[in-house]
Amino acid sequence: MRYYTVIQDGREQVAASKDGQELYILNDFEDMNQLIEAGGIREIPTGAEQVSADAKIISPIPRTKQDMLCLGINYSDHAVEAGRFSKEAFGGERPVPIFFSKRVNYSQGPDDIIPAYEGLVDSLDYECELAVIISKDAKDVKSSDAQDYVFGYTVTNDVSARNLQTSHKQWYFGKSLDGFAPMGPCIVSADEFAFPPALNITCKVNGELRQDSNTANLITSIPVIIETLTRGMTLKAGTVIATGTPSGVGMGMQPPVFLKKGDVVECSIEGIGTLKETVE
């Protein structure tokens, strides 16, 4: 099943689709977080209203319950390019996963904007990532049981201000400006993919292919991510985990090429869809 949040008749509503073509309103749920806690649906309800053609698809979870959890340097090729850009910030040995959090005041959806923050940000960058949505409260989960705690997957762009990320000596501020956590276009339920999913992941900027990899190339796999985090932390239902980005980000180019106003960024993951944003 594919789950959406749409704006129809002036209000946010949860919707579902079996094929991504015909969407139906789910009146039994106030928002996506409530649907996740309920475990989703197996079938479109009889008599459900079809989403109108003029409805706007927004982020599937516009307001996350907690900060997004993120993996840093979780593809080997990205580790190389990041270390080349800033050895102090990104270099060194990484015997254990790098985790950080990302403030999400509001997550915008497809066909929305990424704010440029001129005067504050001089190195705006993109990071296409597979995001995992936790299905139920998770604590002390073994990797062998991790699949039971995955509700589904979506696409996220871990938008980053590299100058803030490196100058502050930690990543939270440079990753957490308003508008830096777009997601979408939908959440695809976990049962649509093998576990863990091996999906092609790409990012284009103004039509130019920049990132091109597969989620099978994660250094720390999804089962290990969930096991590691839940050893001492409860992951609430609806928690969003961004699993890391492959090589091809702006800071990895020689010389670095950062986003500017008017640039169009398209993050795509096989079987989920494309998250398209314009820098303004």
Tell me what pLDDT residue 187 has: 98
3-state secondary structure the chain: CEEEEEEECCEEEEEEECCCCCCEECCCCCCHHHHHHHCCCCCCCCCCCECCCCCEEECCCCCCCCCEEEEECCCHHHHHHHHHHCHHHHCCCCCCCEEEEECCCCCCCCCEEECCCCCCCCCEECCEEEEEEECCCECCCCHHHHHHHEEEEEEEECCEEHHHHHHCCCCHHHHCCCCCCCEEEEEEEHHHCCCCCCCEEEEEECCEEEEEEEHHHCCCCHHHHHHHHHCCCCECCCCEEECCCCCCCHHHCCCCCCCCCCCEEEEEECCCEEEEEEEC
Q: Which residues, given as ranges, of the chain have pLDDT below 50?
A: none
User: Can you give the pTM of this predicted structure?
Assistant: 0.94
The string of pLDDT tens digits covering residues 81-136 is 666 655 555 656 667 899 999 999 999 999 999 999 999 999 999 999 999 999 99
Tell me what pLDDT residue 88 has: 55
